Every structure is written in structure tokens, then in C-alpha cells.
Amino acid sequence: MPTALITGATAGLGAAFARRLAADGFSLVLVARDAERLASAAEELRLRYGVSSEVLPADLATDEGLQKVEARLREGVDLLVNNAGFGHPGSFLDVPVEEELRMLKLHCEAVLRLTLAALPGMKARDRGAVVNVASVAAFLAGGTYSASKAWVVNFSESAASELTGSRVRVMALCPGFVRTEFHRRASIDTSGIPDFLWLSADDVVREAMRDLARGRRVSVPDLRYKVISAVARLVPPNLAGQVSRRIGRR
């Protein structure tokens, strides 16, 4: 039975990945900060899909948490989903530098370290995959969040290029607005986001897994966001950033 390790596994896209992979017959390693919520998620998956779920409480914005998950990855997994992340409600100049550094630790250093912990074993077995959850924000100018997600896309594409010729895949997943806890937990006002821009987490994961099977290095779920990301690459960065901020926040 293949094994998947998912970070940020108790809510949103992480929980959607857990449901999808459990339905596909994966045994799971669920990583998140809240041990009680992890245990509840694991039990729910066991009852619904009959799969085993190992729980690994860890704060990936700390060295201790990263080391714990790195050690588990070196034991071997078939799929790593780097999903853990968070947002800020304020603009770049309004956010304490400590919080900006915590974001970079989680969005960039954690993705780097966990990917590097998983890939050697995958490469030796000549099978496996890493999905790094980025965002359509990676293609827009929007503070540290957008910059960190742009790094995730660039890093994922670079790693995928280095694995050319093997059966190991690395893909950046770049969804748009998804109905999850993300915005509420970040205290971000979403009232200015049009209804037609919202996606469901299960739909995003379904398209992500299809793109992974096709060997895509970057997955942008949904035609609407494929168009938005393509246009964002063509217009001046300052204009794209202004539009993004106007839509995303009041």
C-alpha cells in the first residue's frame, strides 16, 4: 500500500487531499500542529475509508517540527503534499517582521527541507511524487505571501527539471480562492471576492491529481484561473498587484 504524507492535513486542501488519497488506497501520515484535531481526522478517515492514518503533530515553522517530519520522510513515502501555510490580513508594511519571517520559514524553508528529505528515497526507488501547494498569487505582486508562493513555483519547476528522465515527479499546485478556513483564520475580509471566483477544495484536489498523473510541473486548477494566471504574466506587475489587492481585500 503506498504512503502519502500531508502537511496542514486537518483542514482545507490538506483535508481534501487526505480524503482523496484515502479513497485511492493510500495509507496516510497526517501532519499539523493540533494533536487533538489530528487524532480526530485520522479516526474519521479510518471509519470512512478503512485506511491507517499515522498522526505526526509538528509546527513546521520551528526547527524541532521540521526535524521531526524530515526524519519520517527519510523512512520513505510515495507522495509528499507540502500544503501547510497561512496568510496575513494586513499589507506588507503593517505586518510584524517576526510574522513575515515565520511565513518564509513555513512557505519556503519547510517546503525546501521536506522536499529534500523525501526525494533521495524516491529517486533511489525511481518512483514517487511531491506536490507543493503554491497559489495563483505566485503570478501576482502581493507582498510576502505572493513572493513566497512564487518561490515555491520556481523551486518546484527547478526540482522537476533535475529529475528529468526519472519517474519521480515534482509539481507546484496553484489554486485561486478556495472555500476553506484559510481566510477566516487569517482574519482576511473576503466580502469583496465575487462568488464566481470561489473553488471547492475537492475539485482543486481532483484536478491536481489529474495534472500530476499527466506529468505537469505546474497545475492551475479551473479554466478561470488558467486565464487569470496567463493574463497576469502579460500585464505590468504593479497593475496585476493592484487588481489582486482590490479583489482579495477591501
pLDDT for the residue numbered 98:
93
pLDDT for the residue numbered 178:
82
Res. 79 pLDDT band, cuts 50 70 90: very high
pLDDT for the residue numbered 190:
56
Q: Is the pLDDT of residue 242 over 60?
A: no
Contacting residues for 51 by C-beta, under 8 A, at least 6 apart: 22, 25, 26, 27, 28, 45
Res. 248 pLDDT band, cuts 50 70 90: very low
Contacting residues for 13 by C-beta, under 8 A, at least 6 apart: 83, 133, 175, 178, 180, 201, 204, 205
C-alpha–C-alpha distance, residues 111 and 132, integer Å: 7
pLDDT for the residue numbered 160:
98
* 114-143: pLDDT as tens digits: 999 999 999 999 999 999 999 999 998 778
Please give the average per-residue pLDDT across 54-60, as a whole number: 97
Q: Is the pLDDT of residue 181 over 80?
A: no
Q: What DSSP line would sit under 140-151, residue for residue? A: S--HHHHHHHHH
Q: Is the pLDDT of residue 222 over 70?
A: yes
Q: Is the pLDDT of residue 109 over 50?
A: yes
Q: Is the pLDDT of residue 183 over 60?
A: no
Res. 247 pLDDT band, cuts 50 70 90: very low
Could you tell me if residue 186 is left (phi over 0), alpha (psi between -120 and 50 degrees) or otherwise beta? alpha
Cα–Cα distances in angstroms (integers) from residue 31 to residues 51, 65, 114, in the given order = 16, 10, 12
* 140-159: pLDDT as tens digits: 877 899 999 999 999 999 99
- Mean pLDDT in the chain? 89
pLDDT for the residue numbered 237:
57
How much of the chain, in percent, has pLDDT values that exceed 90? Answer: 71
Q: Is the pLDDT of residue 78 over 50?
A: yes
Instruction: For residue 82, list its beta bridge partners.
Output: 132
Residue corresponding to grid cell 505590468: 236
Please confirm, yes or no, whether 49 is among the known catalytic residues: no
pLDDT for the residue numbered 249:
45
pLDDT for the residue numbered 202:
95
Active-site pick, 145, 151, 182, 225: 145
- pTM score: 0.89
Torsion angle, alpha carbons of 164, 166, 172, 178, to 10: 150
Q: Which domains does the chain have, with CATH numbers?
A: 3-248 (3.40.50.720)
